[in-house]
Structure 1
């Protein structure tokens, strides 16, 4: 794999030499930690560690309709990058496909299941992985004190509720957003670009943190933002970093010293 010019100057003790890798972000603009003014976190698999038992327990919570979960996740994967412009249009498309795939043929019934069964169970399941990112809350406080804007962009809705389930205070972030609520799924870059406009921060001064290159990384690339990938595998893949290493690197970001703290806002997040 060919290397690109270094995009971010790194403290070598953090073992982040892989920032040069094409696997990391093919179009990541040149930049340095001193230039980063905003950090956008993915949620699932990023702000918590995805445990092997998470999906099976979630399926049990959805009994007796747990088979729908497998179909629904498969459908969401099929719609990666889809941009329907509105949450209603996107959910209707996925619910319609779910109705066909399950043989139930009732789109409205599937919409009700997604909203009244899937999401409440998903929220409760956050307790299974609560506290799986040690040092996260202190790190967020430090970054905010340095004037760095913080956001969460999840492919799923109910971001604030799920953060609370993880023991992460939503008001530690300037913006909470969901691609689903915006009518699209990653790697569609539209929500990232909207967030940059809301903050008034150039895209090249924003870093995206996520666990998937094909969604988080590609969206960051399309938005011309920096990207760092987190991995919880025993053997960390090339171009990815452990939580400990990633956290240490983020704590090297000096931010805009003396910047006023910003009042958090919630974007496209349903109660």
Structure 2
């Protein structure tokens, strides 16, 4: 893990999926839920194609900017499958924005909650920047952030690695790039976004054991910093 500049740090910016919880574990859980559900709903099996293509098309749109990004994401999928946008929205809402929230607390990374509590106690702001809307996910995990930003927000409307969302956070909090750090799990998106904005970046490993140690290591790093600072 790269060292943090604790002396100047004023805000921590967090990605959500794969950064606050084990996304791979949740996906396995949701695959089981999907199969169980559609086993008894064979006439709606096309919903699985909607989910597959929505994720696939969204990945291909990385770095794109639209006048209305949220609607564009649905429309691209609808055009691909020749289905009404209303049905696309219904399936995505259920299986991406609602059902997974029921299980999020089971997969939160060890150390995340005490780390955020420590940062809040020390007066360091917590911001969240995700390509997907994150407010309901944070609520489900009982996590609080000072600022929550999504790529689909009207004032952003661009996907990572475009840095527009990070610039919005910096401007809203009135902090410089050197006073913040962005934490994410995808270097090609989160990391590139941070570099384009000039914000320091920390990458969470996708290896389970390393990811489990990440936030506890940050706590240890900050504790050591405070110890040295007080001793001096």
Q: TM-score, normalised by structure 1?
A: 0.70
Among candidates 114, 131, 155, match of residue 155 of structure 1: 131
- What corresponds to 1:252 in structure 2? 221
Alignment of 1:62-73 (within 5 A): 64=44, 65-73=47-55
The 3-state SS of whatever aligns with 1:126 is helix
1:134 aligns with 2:116: no
Q: CA offsets per residue over residues 88-140 of structure 1, 9 Å max, x none? A: x2233333321222133xxxx22x23443312332221233423212322221
Q: CA offsets per residue over residues 210-266 of structure 1, 9 Å max, x none? A: 1100111010011101111112325x8xxxx53313432255348xx9xxxxxxxxx
Q: How many residues align?
A: 211
Tell me by how many angstroms 1:160 deviates. 1.6
Is this contact kept in 2: 1:186–1:219, CA < 8 A? yes
Q: Which runs of 5 or more structure 2 residues have no equivalent in the other structure?
A: 227-232
Change (3 A) 1:32 1:101: same
Alignment of 1:1-271 (within 5 A): 16=1, 19=2, 32-50=5-23, 51=25, 52-57=27-32, 59-60=34-35, 64=44, 65-84=47-66, 86=67, 89-104=68-83, 109-110=84-85, 112-122=86-96, 123-132=98-107, 133-157=109-133, 159-165=134-140, 167-169=141-143, 172-181=144-153, 182-233=156-207, 242-250=211-219, 252-253=221-222
The 3-state SS of whatever aligns with 1:186 is coil
In structure 1, distance between residues paired with 2:56 and 2:183: 24
In structure 1, distance between residues paired with 2:60 and 2:137: 24
Is this contact kept in 1: 2:30–2:100, CA < 8 A? no
**Larger relative helix fraction:** 2
Bigger Cα displacement from structure 2, 132-141 vs 146-155: 132-141
Q: Which runs of 5 or more structure 1 residues have no equivalent in the other structure?
A: 1-15, 21-30, 258-271
Is this contact kept in 2: 1:152–1:176, CA < 8 A? yes
In structure 2, distance between residues paired with 1:225 and 1:79: 23
Q: TM-score, normalised by structure 2?
A: 0.80
Q: CA offsets per residue over residues 65-105 of structure 1, 9 Å max, x none? A: 12100000011011101111x4xx2233333321222133x
CA RMSD of aligned residues (A): 2.5
